[in-house]
Amino acid sequence: MRQVSCTLTIAGTDPSGGAGIQADLKTFQELKSYGMSVVTSVVSQNTTGVKDVHHLPENFIMSQLKAISEDMPVQALKTGMIANKKMMKVISEWLDEVDAPYVMDPVMVAQSGDPLIEKEDQRYLKKYLVPKTALVTPNIPETEVLVGGIIETEADMREAAEVIVKDLGAGAALVKGGHLNGRAVDFLYDGQRFHEFESERIDSSNTHGTGCTYSAAITAYLSQGHALPQAVKEAKHFVTEAIRHSFDLGKGSGPTNHFALREEVFNQWL
Ligand X SMILES: Cc1ncc(COP(=O)(O)OP(=O)(O)O)c(N)n1
Do 38 and 61 meet the contact criterion of CB atoms below 8 Å apart? Answer: yes
Q: Which does 86 bind (CB under 5 to 8 A by kind): ligand X, ligand ADP, none?
A: none
Contact window for ligand ADP (CB under 6 A) among 50-58, 95-103, 162-170, 202-210: 202-210
C-alpha torsion 61→50→83→133, nearest 10: 90
Q: Which residue numbers are catalytic? A: 176, 207, 209-212
Helix, strand or coil for residue 31? coil
**Alpha helix locations (H) across the chain?**
20-30, 58-69, 85-95, 122-124, 140-147, 154-166, 210-223, 228-244, 263-266
Of 7, 8, 12, 156, the one binding ligand X by CB under 6 A: 12
Of 212, 216, 217, 235, the one binding ligand X by CB under 6 A: 212
Phi and psi angles of residue 34, each rounded to the nearest 5 degrees, phi first: -80, 115
Do 257 and 207 meet the contact criterion of CB atoms below 8 Å apart? Answer: no
Q: Decide whether 176 or 245 has the Cβ nearer to ligand ADP.
A: 176
Q: Decide whether 65 or 217 has the Cβ nearer to ligand ADP.
A: 217
Contact window for ligand X (CB under 6 A) among 82-90, 163-171, 179-187, 206-214: 206-214
Q: Which does 224 bind (CB under 5 to 8 A by kind): ligand ADP, ligand X, none?
A: none
Per-residue interface string for the shown chain with ligand X, residues 216-245, x marking contact by CB under 6 A: ------------------------------
172-191 binders of ligand X (CB under 6 A): none
Q: Transcribe 211-255 into DSSP letters.
A: HHHHHHHHHHHHHTT--HHHHHHHHHHHHHHHHHT----SSSSPB
**Residue 171 touching ligand X (CB under 6 A):** no
Cα separation, 150 vs 20, in Å, equals 26
DSSP for residue 115:
B
Binding site for ligand ADP (CB under 6 A): 139, 176-179, 184, 186, 199, 201-202, 204, 207, 210-211, 214, 236, 239-240, 243
